[in-house]
Structure 1
């Protein structure tokens, strides 16, 4: 990618001004897939929800690969081994190798392998992905059923749909006995095709209540998964785009690794969550779904006095308190035909800036969001 200059805005992280039109609006100019040769894609809520693929996701990822993008999949869901995840994705039509899947179990096992001697016994809590990751890292996984008679040096806790109260109890006993405690991730919820279910963070919280200490968390929002992904892709942070549906994990994790983030509205967090997001969790790019990868993305840029511009359109906060709203104009004339997602992209920096300056409250910012058309 070309050299860029850094500007600071209400997004809360460095924004690369790749190109600028004559109005001064910061724009990517090319499609997002062309602007970022490396894509790190989350799975739950982005590519699939439970057993169902997210609409347009597979087609857009295939198109991006056909046009030269490299894609790896990084997930906090530690329950399944990468080969099983890859096979499931191939069943949806995704083109990938097993090595293109990176899980938080891999990050957790790698973290422990740097701290423990080869062959050290580690209590494996979670799905088979936890056990396989420990074995691949040269450690000896111990099942909860064997924990009472097998001393362990650490506990690696990841998500598993079949995790029982007895297994959580064994984790608590080992931790109280001095074992290191590593959690693959702390997502409180997990999106499925039937709704939102408790995630690994909920199970970790149950153990934490019993032991009174916090685990080392290696998955998102930490940088480790994204750093592993960049290594696999062969791209630097400036050339790698993190894609996700959760602000506190996907966006925060990409930022922690120095990457830009694309947030898609197909999973957990919607517009109200976006506008309330603290500075470190505000993504650079917004898409309704992964079709955004094939767009020439017009990125809003500040134009002074609370005014933001993108592709000739201006967004400005008008009114105050409960009557506050974002006005959209082009050439001095309002146009109600501007697409909703374009309005949302323009409204967010306007509202973020007003929030940061204390001009409106969170509730007033949510109320000022453009209504879906």
Structure 2
């Protein structure tokens, strides 16, 4: 029997919303997997692009859902952005903070001086999402950036998932300053490497596994960092999104949710799986067989990716059509 994921890796780098929890509810097996990782000596890090909350606040939120966590296990894009600024500026330099007090605290923690308004003393701009962001805040940022301040964006997520639906994310506000200044920020959060590298260093990991629900942040971040990843289908990415993913967004493994940690790791790898046959010819994808729908997804992705990613027309037999419908594909 194949070993499990906890046997193969020395650290798990979890995304949060859509992976470990949704809103205020832990997702299936999240608490159990974290407990099992600790028991096996596998280091856990919660890696989030959300720059608005302090690590202890994130840890408290997790503990409130019975997920074991402490502040030292939380890596945020605010921490990564502050570290990037520290590497470019002199101790004590003024940094204009466009974000929450938690972001300002991270700037202070690396020996820089957070400020809220533009002046000739401002040497850097640190931008993270805040629900209280105003036009006046963005105007101060535009002045500083145009004056030559080094600009770091905590992340460029275009949207923010909430219980009410998708709302504007930090990337939307970053884009406003791009347009206003004709400048590009250095990005600290996923899929850029500073946050991922910081998490790996913090964990002291030689063989980390990234676990996430988004192709454009979690999985692309893992690919950029050169580490393996597990995509779970409990959040943003769908099976159809995975099939259409480019090489920079392709995970090592795919699973429905974190209960996959109960299964042999080899069963989760994206490659041909028993029960299914897929042939690709000029964009026509013929699918036959029967079995686990997720095994079909693994087989389908492997075949289409090997053929250059061309999957314009799916032609499944009846059993395959039923499995694809279960996976959320529209057939016919």
- Give the drift of 1:193: 2.6
After the TM superposition, which segments of 4 or more aligned residues of structure 1 sit over 4 Å from their partners? 299-302, 318-322, 365-369
**C-alpha deviation, 1:153, in angstroms:** 0.7
Distance 2:119 2:90 in 1: 20
Q: 2:169 aligns with which of 196, 199, 206?
A: 199
Name the SS of the counterpart of 1:286 in structure 2.
strand
Instruction: After TM superposition, give the deviation of residue 89 of structure 1 in Å.
Output: 1.1
In structure 1, the residue corresponding to 2:122 is in which secondary structure? coil
Kindly indicate whether the alpha-carbon contact (under 8 Å) linking 1:317 and 1:327 is maintained by their aligned counterparts in 2.
Answer: no
> 1:58 aligned to 16, 24, 31, which one?
31
Partner of 1:19: none
Q: Per chain length, whose mean CA-contact separation is higher, i.e. which structure has more relative contact order (CA < 8 Å, sep 6+)?
A: 1
Check 1:320–1:114 CA distance in 2 against 1; reply closer, same or farther (3 A cut): closer
1:117 is paired with a residue whose SS is coil
Whether 1:317 and 2:279 are equivalent positions in the alignment is yes
Partner of 2:330: none
TM-score calculated relative to the size of structure 1: 0.80
Alignment partner, residue 349 of structure 1? 302
Distance 1:56-1:299 versus aligned 2 partners, 3 A rule: closer
Note closer, same or farther for the CA distance 1:59–1:161 as it changes in structure 2 (3 Å cut).
farther
Query: 1:1-373 residue pairs with structure 2 within 5 A?
Result: 29-143=2-116, 147-148=117-118, 151-236=121-206, 239-299=207-267, 309-310=272-273, 312-317=274-279, 324-328=285-289, 336=290, 338-356=291-309, 360-361=310-311, 363-364=312-313, 370-372=324-326
| Per-residue CA distance 1:67-119 (angstroms, 9 max, x = gap) | 33221011111111111111111111111221110111111111111111111
Report the alpha carbon displacement of residue 190 of structure 1 after superposing the two structures with TM: 1.8
Distance of 1:211 and 1:320 partners within structure 2? 45
Query: What is the aligned-residue RMSD (CA, Å)?
Result: 2.4
Q: TM-score, normalised by structure 2?
A: 0.89
Tell me the SS of whatever aligns to 1:191.
Answer: strand
Secondary structure of the structure 2 residue equivalent to 1:266: coil
CA apart distance, 1:138: 0.7
In structure 2, list runs of 5 or more residues that go unmatched: 328-332
**Pairwise CA distance, 1:294:** 2.2
Aligned residue for 1:298, secondary structure, equals helix
**Distance in 2 of aligned mates of 1:313 and 1:68:** 36
Cα distance in structure 1, aligned partners of 2:224 and 2:260: 23
In the alignment of these two chains, the number of paired residues is 322
Q: SS of the counterpart of 2:84?
A: helix
Secondary structure at 1:92 match in 2: coil
Cα distance, 1:102–1:283 mapped onto 2, change above 3 Å: same
Aligned-residue offset at 1:269? 1.1
Partner SS, residue 221 of structure 1: coil
Deviations 1:200-220 (A, max 9, x none): 111101111111111111111
For structure 1, the residue ranges without an aligned partner over 5 or more in a row are: 1-27, 303-307, 329-335
